[in-house]
Each structure stands twice: as structure tokens, then as C-alpha cells.
């Protein structure tokens, strides 16, 4: 049985509750905080083993909370940042502040549980410094490669998911090819019911999460690749992509969404390793045929 207490710091109630309930379901001891001030107080009270820390908090921000924990308590806890901002500079700041790892919002609950289990394992905890140095090196390299020097008076254009397309990006091409193959197994009109739409979205999130785990750059740009896949696979119009992913927290913890994410990861791995046809969307369509 897992041991050690986890402090979840997230100001959005639905998302915080989803994390807390999912972790408790895995037999972890968990407490939640909505602000940086509350997080600092609860850390001192409980001395948690892991902190899941949102970057954008009311009052004291997540990076400052991390710095205070490191100054006052050293490296007694693993700190996993979770953020909706996937800018390289922000991720660099999180790790520089003392964070050990990061997750981009949009990752499934199962993805959060995997990272917690990784860090909760005692032998792995001794590798924290090496992990941090590796992340910092990769992020610094990515910053150098992705953001070339420019004159101070010239604005730096922001890369977004809209710059990613199957014709120019091999990862997006592979992801959309897989999603289209999976949807082709389901009957025409699949995706009309609320449950079917939720399942498709969870499925795609699971697939993208599986691919992102293979590369630091893909992990950093998780949201961009998720949005591009949602669009190029034909699931959403471009105008709806940002709105959907920005409200991703409303799907956290929903059994249909989470189950779809797990099945998406499993299908993609089978597709890549032995060419097995992805059948999970078709199987769900048979079990949930009614339209709304």
C-alpha cells in the first residue's frame, strides 16, 4: 500500500477535488490547499512527501511557495509543478525555483497518478537532483533552439498549436493518422452523444500523453500537440479547440474520460508495437449507441 502524505495545491475547486479523490482512491493520504498561504501552513503542519503545486495561485504564486519550502525545509519533499502555461521560460522558472518535475494541465488523472507513483518509490527519490539537472538542461536547450536571439525592440512571435500540421510535423501526422484509423472502426455518426464525445476526447488525450512521455520537447508542448490532434483529426473546429482545452478541468475525474485515456494509451502502444487495429472507440460505440 502506498505511504506518505501528498499536498495538492490548486485554486480551481473541481480540479483540486479530482486530484484529491483520485489519489485517495489509490490509498494515498492527501490534503488540499487553494492558496499559496494555505499551502505553506499545511506543509509545516503535515510535512508531506510530495507536493503537487499549481503555478498560478491567488496571493503567493506557486514558484514562490516552492522557493520558501526549499529555503525552510530543504529537499524533504518532491515538488511536482502542474501548469496550464507551457512556455519554456515558465517551466524553466519552476525547476529553477526548486521543482523536481512538471505536468502540463490536460494530462489525464492517470498521468498524474503515474508521476506520483514514480516519485513515491523510495529508491527513485534519491535521483531527484539528477532528474532536476536533466530537466533544466533539456529546457535550456529547448529555449535556445526554439527562441533565437532577437533585437530588444522586436517582438518574439509565439508558437502555438496552429503552427503544427500533419504536412509539416511528423508527430502530428502520426497522431492524426492513428486517431482517424481508430474512428474508422466505429460506425458513422459516432460522437453524437455526450458520453461518446467525452470518450473520444479522453481517448485522444491518452494517446497524446503516451506519445509525449517519450520526449521532453513533446512533454513541454503537450497542450499544443493535444490541440493540434483534436483539430486535424476532425474532432473539433479550430474555434472550439482553445475553449475546450482551457476548460479541461471539468473532465478530470470523470470515469468515462479517464477510462478512455487509459484505453487510448494501450491502443496506441499496440498499434506501434504490433500493428494491432485500435478497437476501443468501436467497442464503446456498441456499448453506448443512443444519440442525444
* Structural domain count, the chain: 2
**Better-predicted residue by pLDDT, 98 or 252:** 98
Q: What is the mean pLDDT of the chain?
A: 82
- Structural domain contains residue 21: yes
**Taking a C-beta distance cutoff of 8 angstroms, is the pair 171, 225 a contact?**
yes
C-alpha cell at 30: 492527501
- Structural domain contains residue 156: no
Please give the sequence-ordered ranges of beta strands (E in DSSP) within 41-175, or none if there are none: 50-54, 78-83, 101-104
pLDDT in tens, 92-105: 788 888 888 888 87
- Structural domain contains residue 154: no
For residue 181, the number of C-alpha atoms closer than 13 Å in the C-beta half-sphere is 17
3-state SS, residue 142:
helix
How many Cβ atoms are within 10 Å of 73's Cβ, its own excluded? 12
Residue 5: its H or E element: strand 5-9
Among the candidates 120, 146, 172, a domain finishes at 146
C-alpha cell at 18: 479530482
DSSP secondary structure, 199-263, as one string = HHHHHHHHHHHHHHTT-HHHHHTHHHHHHHHHHHTTSS-HHHHHHHHHTGGGGTT-HHHHHHHHH
119 and 171 within one domain: no
110 and 26 within one domain: yes
pLDDT in tens, 34-72: 999 999 999 999 999 999 999 989 889 999 999 999 999
Distances (CA, A) of 148 to 134, 137, 142: 22, 17, 10
Q: What is the mean pLDDT of residues 172-179?
A: 95
Question: What integer pLDDT is reported at residue 128 of this predicted model?
Answer: 61
Provide the residue range defining the domain that includes 248.
161-287
Residue 142 has pLDDT above 70, yes or no: no
| Cβ partners under 8 Å of residue 2, min gap 6 | 26, 27, 28, 117, 120
**Taking a C-beta distance cutoff of 8 angstroms, is the pair 33, 8 a contact?**
yes
Highest mean pLDDT among 101-110, 135-144, 254-263 belongs to 254-263
Ranges 41-45, 125-129, 230-234, 263-267: which has the least confidence:
125-129
200 and 127 within one domain: no
Residue 152 has pLDDT above 50, yes or no: no
CATH number of the domain at 106, please: 3.40.50.2300
- Structural domain contains residue 135: yes
Q: What is the mean pLDDT of residues 266-284?
A: 92
Q: In what order do the strands lie in the sheet with 78-83?
A: 29-33, 5-9, 50-54, 78-83, 101-104
- Structural domain contains residue 292: no
185 and 137 within one domain: no
Q: What is the mean pLDDT of residues 200-218?
A: 85
Q: What is the mean pLDDT of residues 154-181?
A: 81
55 and 32 within one domain: yes
pLDDT bucket at 173, cuts 50 / 70 / 90: very high
Among the candidates 85, 120, 146, a domain finishes at 146
Residue 21 has pLDDT above 50, yes or no: yes
Percent helix, strand and coil across the chain, each to the nearest 5: 60, 10, 30
Residue in 280, 274, 237, 242 with CA at minimum distance from that of residue 260: 280
Residue in 179, 178, 219 with CA at minimum distance from that of residue 94: 219
Output phi, psi for 270, to 5 deg: -65, -40
Amino acid at each position: 500500500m502506498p505511504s506518505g502524505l501528498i499536498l495538492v495545491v490548486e485554486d480551481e475547486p473541481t480540479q483540486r477535488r479530482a486530484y484529491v479523490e483520485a489519489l485517495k482512491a489509490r490509498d494515498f493520504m492527501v490534503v488540499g490547499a487553494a492558496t499559496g498561504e494555505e499551502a505553506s501552513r499545511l506543509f509545516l503542519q503535515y510535512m508531506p512527501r510530495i507536493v503537487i503545486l499549481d503555478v498560478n495561485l491567488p496571493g503567493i504564486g506557486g514558484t514562490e511557495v516552492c522557493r520558501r519550502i526549499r529555503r525552510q525545509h530543504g529537499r524533504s519533499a518532491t515538488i511536482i509543478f502542474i501548469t496550464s502555461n507551457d512556455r519554456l521560460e515558465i517551466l524553466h522558472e519552476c525547476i529553477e525555483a526548486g521543482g523536481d518535475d512538471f505536468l502540463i494541465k490536460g494530462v489525464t488523472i492517470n498521468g498524474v497518478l503515474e508521476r506520483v507513483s514514480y516519485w513515491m518509490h523510495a529508491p527513485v527519490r534519491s535521483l531527484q537532483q539528477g532528474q532536476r539537472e536533466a530537466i533544466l538542461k533539456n529546457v535550456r536547450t529547448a529555449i535556445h533552439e526554439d527562441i533565437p536571439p532577437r533585437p530588444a525592440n522586436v517582438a518574439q512571435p509565439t508558437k502555438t498549436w496552429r503552427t503544427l500540421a500533419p504536412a509539416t510535423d511528423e508527430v502530428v501526422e502520426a497522431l492524426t493518422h492513428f486517431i482517424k484509423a481508430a474512428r474508422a472502426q466505429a460506425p458513422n455518426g459516432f460522437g453524437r452523444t455526450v458520453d461518446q464525445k467525452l470518450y473520444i476526447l479522453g481517448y485522444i488525450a491518452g494517446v497524446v500523453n503516451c506519445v509525449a512521455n517519450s520526449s521532453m520537447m513533446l512533454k513541454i508542448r503537450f497542450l499544443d500537440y493535444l490541440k493540434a490532434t483534436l483539430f486535424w483529426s476532425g474532432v473539433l473546429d479550430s474555434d472550439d479547440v482553445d475553449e475546450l482545452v482551457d476548460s479541461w478541468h471539468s473532465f478530470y475525474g470523470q470515469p468515462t474520460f479517464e477510462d478512455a485515456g487509459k484505453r487510448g494509451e494501450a491502443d496506441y502502444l499496440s498499434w506501434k508495437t504490433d500493428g494491432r487495429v485500435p478497437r476501443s472507440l468501436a467497442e464503446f460505440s456498441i456499448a453506448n449507441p443512443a444519440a442525444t
